[in-house]
Amino acid sequence: MHIDPASGLLDEAEYIPSPNQDDRPIEGQIDLLVIHNISLPPQQYGGPYIEQLFTNCLDPQAHPYFADICHLQVSSHLLIRRDGHIVQFVPFHKRAWHAGESCFEERVRCNDFSIGIELEGSDDEPYEDIQYQQLVAVTKCLRHDYPGITVDHIVGHMDIAPQRKTDPGPAFDWPRFRQKLASA
């Protein structure tokens, strides 16, 4: 697994560009990894809906839940599907719109200095083994190219927006992930 320095793209990811991105502030460095979860409709997996949301193409008529979210302009850098397939929406050197109102170590606007990875899943359903494997491989690759992403700078969305967010939720096995990362 490798990140192309010119494009900011992961060589093993399918690239579906999101319009929901912009340039990062010049003065900042990328030193935070934020892990999220997403499923559309909630707790349903597969299908095109996550990609449609991140590319502003979600049909509000396709499911009752979509009417409330189809207007959102959000993205993440990567999505790791339940089968391990990786989709990249935003080059790593660009700012994805994944964290929203957020704070880490007294720094606000976490999108400015973070990379966001979505796991296809929900707070209370176990993630797949292949998702952990892919997340570890991607994290190892990111830490090589962005050494500011230390173990202490890998957090869940709930850690940077605790009043608003709960993901990746209690089903995400942090000890397992950290152990696999340490042995990678």
Strands 32-38 and 154-156, bridge-based pairing: parallel
Residues 110-135 as b/e (b if ≥16 CB within 10 A, e otherwise) read bbbbbbbbbbbbbbeeebbeebbebb
* CA 117 – CA 111 distance, rounded (Å): 12
End-to-end CA distance of the chain: give it in Å, rounded: 13
Q: Catalytic amino acids?
A: 118
Instruction: Give yes or no for a contact between 104 and 110, defined as CB atoms under 8 angstroms apart.
Output: yes
